[in-house]
Amino acid sequence: MNSSQWGPSALGLGTAVATAAVLEALIRGGAINAYIVPLPSQVVLAFERVLVEENVVHRFLLTTAETLVAGALITVVGIGLGVLLHRFRLIRAACETWVAAFASAPVVLMYPLFLVIFGRSATTIVMMGFVAALPPVILKTLEGLAGTRPVLIDVGRSFSVTRSQMFWKIMLPAALPTVFVGLRLGLIFAMINIVGVEFLINFGGLGQLINELAERYDLPGTYAAIGFVVLVSVLFFYVTERIERWLRPA
Partner 1 sequence: MNGEPDRAGKAAGIEPFVSVEHIVKRFTTADGSLVAVDDVSFSVARGEFVSLIGPSGCGKSTLFNIIGGLLADYDGAIRVGGEAIRGTHGEIGMVFQEESTFPWRNVLENVAFPLEIAGVPKGERHERARHFIDLVGLGGFERRQPSELSGGMRQRVAIARTLAAAPQILLMDEPFAALDEQTRLLLGDKVLQIQQTLRQTTLLITHNITEAVQLSDRIIVMTYRPGRVKRIVDIDLPRPRTSAVVSSTAFGRHVAEIWNDLREEASRGMRDDERQLRGGAER
CB of 23 or CB of 174, closer to partner 1: 174
Per CB under 8 A, contacts with partner 1 among 220-249 are 248-249
Contact residue for partner 1 among 50, 128, 142, 174 (CB under 8 A): 174
Contact residue for partner 1 among 165, 216, 238, 241 (CB under 8 A): 165
Contact 108, 128 (CB under 8 A): yes
* Those residues with Cβ within 8 angstroms of residue 202's Cβ, 6 or more apart along the chain or in another chain: 208, 211, 212
Number of residues that bind partner 1 (CB under 8 A): 19
Check residue 16 for interaction with partner 1 (CB under 8 A): no
> How far, in Å, CA of 188 to CA of 229, rounded?
11
Check residue 97 for interaction with partner 1 (CB under 8 A): no
Torsion of the alpha carbons at 240, 234, 114 and 73, rounded to the nearest 10:
10
The residue range among 97-105, 139-147, 159-167, 188-196 that interacts with partner 1, by the rule CB under 8 A, is: 159-167
> How far, in Å, CA of 140 to CA of 134, rounded?
10
Contact residue for partner 1 among 45, 152, 214, 231 (CB under 8 A): 152
The residue range among 94-102, 149-157, 205-213, 229-237 that interacts with partner 1, by the rule CB under 8 A, is: 149-157
Q: Smallest Cα–Cα separation from 82: which of 184, 176, 156?
A: 176
> How far, in Å, CA of 162 to CA of 241, rounded?
31
> How far, in Å, CA of 178 to CA of 138, rounded?
11
Binding site for partner 1 (CB under 8 A): 149, 151-152, 154-155, 157-161, 165, 169-170, 173-174, 176, 248-250
